[in-house]
Chain A
Amino acid sequence: QKEVEQDPGPLSVPEGAIVSLNCTYSNSAFQYFMWYRQYSRKGPELLMYTYSSGNKEDGRFTAQVDKSSKYISLFIRDSQPSDSATYLCAMSRTIRGNLIFGKGTKLSVKP
């Protein structure tokens, strides 16, 4: 079993839809959770960073962490064609730890 599981998609939604992206993980020691956005042939760009359980909101983006279920989510409201990218979840056991990434979910937002 991989430490971090993420459905690779692809996921296609119409413009304006609410998008839900998810990852599950097996190691209960993970405490730091990140979401990155990666456009084609570019490096990952940090979107959201959450410590432990709870919700965090930033504009159209909301990150949720449920440590009891070992499940994290990223919600995108009012999705735009410019949101079309691959979304990677990443986790770390400690604040100094290396990141463990999911495979990424490819999202396409159609005008």
Chain B
Amino acid sequence: DAGVTQSPTHLIKTRGQHVTLRCSPISGHKSVSWYQQVLGQGPQFIFQYYEKEERGRGNFPDRFSARQFPNYSSELNVNALLLGDSALYLCASSSDEIWAGELFFGEGSRLTVL
């Protein structure tokens, strides 16, 4: 079975641009979470979706938004990119609303903002 898949794997943007990152959860998983991992740090929670509804939001500015589609895939959008947005963006899925201990991560999308 395929794991969590994310695209693109790498991308380079300039300050002020917009980026869309995509995630397909493990087949049968209905919950998707997004995390940001800055180099040398642990992942930091951004958003959590279950059955297309936002169930949690971390301490990120409104430039960050996300949504989940009927097929449970998800998009993370970041507007007005800043240099500090350079990071590995991780998507994780779980089978149900039970997330703790059942989060499976994708390999991430590495964003570089110049």
Contact = CB atoms under 8 A, between A and B. Distances in A.
B40 A8 contact: yes
Interface in A97-111: 97-104
A102 B42 contact: yes
Secondary structure class of chain B's binding surface, majority of residues: loop
Contact of A95 (B33, B58, B100, B107): B100
Interface string A75-104: 000000000000010101011111111111
The size class of the interface chain B forms with chain A is 20 to 34
Nearest to B57: A98
B90 A101 contact: no
A104 B48 contact: no
Contact of A49 (B33, B101, B107): B101
Contacts of A51: 101
A6 to B, nearest CB: 7
Given A43-B4, A43-B107, A44-B105, A96 B40 contact: no
16 contacts: A6-B42, A32-B100, A34-B103, A49-B100, A51-B101, A88-B42, A95-B101, A96-B55, A96-B97, A96-B100, A97-B100, A98-B48, A99-B35, A99-B43, A99-B100, A101-B42
